[in-house]
A = this chain, B = another copy of it.
């Protein structure tokens, strides 16, 4: 990545351009909706011009998560199903007793899987296994409009 120079010539203004940020917008269909966002993250990495470094993928909000998985139809269903088995919907959560919005399990699932994923970049590309994709998982009980912020850091 290149330092920023003043407009006219080589007089460097002292600021550095070492990070690049872009949002991804996603519409989700509700609880358990799993989307492959690898292509969109790769496009941000490409736009950044960064050849070597890391990219952070962050779901803004407390009831959705990101991770990596082999994105095939079986696992697309298995992942939300195992989370529902481990952290089932229930009216017994303290969250429910206060808010009664039916998504206590959504919060807990999203916190456990996590909102943040960091993936390395080499040769200007995401480094992932052949069968490893970046996914977004909606944990909330209804469809939501989601913003995922992608931040590239490197050179």
Contacts and interface: CB of A to CB of B under 8 A. Distances in A.
Size range of the chain A interface in the assembly: 35 or more
Contact of A16 (B16, B58, B127, B131): B16
Please report whether the interface of chain A is mostly helix, strand, loop or mixed according to DSSP: mixed
A38 interface: no
A16 B117 CA distance: 25
B155 A17 contact: yes
A2 B12 CA distance: 11
Can you tell how many copies of this chain the complex includes?
3
A132 B62 contact: yes
A26 interface: no
21 contacts: A1-B16, A1-B18, A2-B14, A2-B15, A3-B3, A5-B14, A16-B18, A17-B155, A54-B56, A54-B151, A58-B119, A67-B111, A69-B111, A73-B94, A74-B93, A74-B97, A74-B104, A75-B94, A78-B93, A78-B94, A120-B151
